[in-house]
Amino acid sequence: MRIFSLLSMYFTLQFGVSYYCIYEVEWIGWDLFEPFTYTVSQGTALAGVFFVMRNRGANTEYTNLAEHLQAKRARKWLKKYDFDL
């Protein structure tokens, strides 16, 4: 749930900063801010591809994905600390 909340806040912040810089700041126009928005959008897309590839094989429904991530974290703890959750 935290991941999805953080991503929602990130996209909202990205939209707000982009809107403010393009339309409210006089010396920053679209011609100066467009490369920045392109770079951020491409970085976000790459992060999404990384997330999908890292969790491939998991069902994409929210409850199944949460269970998959929890089981993955438990396996990691078991391997690193020899501790079974």
Residue 17 has pLDDT above 70, yes or no: yes
Domain coordinates in residue numbering, the chain = 2-54, 59-85
- pLDDT band per the 50, 70, 90 thresholds, residue 52: confident
The alpha carbon dihedral of 21, 22, 27, 33 has a sign of positive
> Which region, left, alpha or beta, applies to residue 82 given φ > 0 means left and ψ of -120 to 50 means alpha?
left
Given this model, what pLDDT does residue 58 score? 66
Q: Which two tokens stand for residue 76?
A: 């990691």
Contacts of 58 (CB under 8 A, 6+ apart): 64, 65, 68
- Which residues, 6 or more positions from 32, have their beta carbon under 8 angstroms from its beta carbon? none
Does 33 score more than 80 pLDDT? no
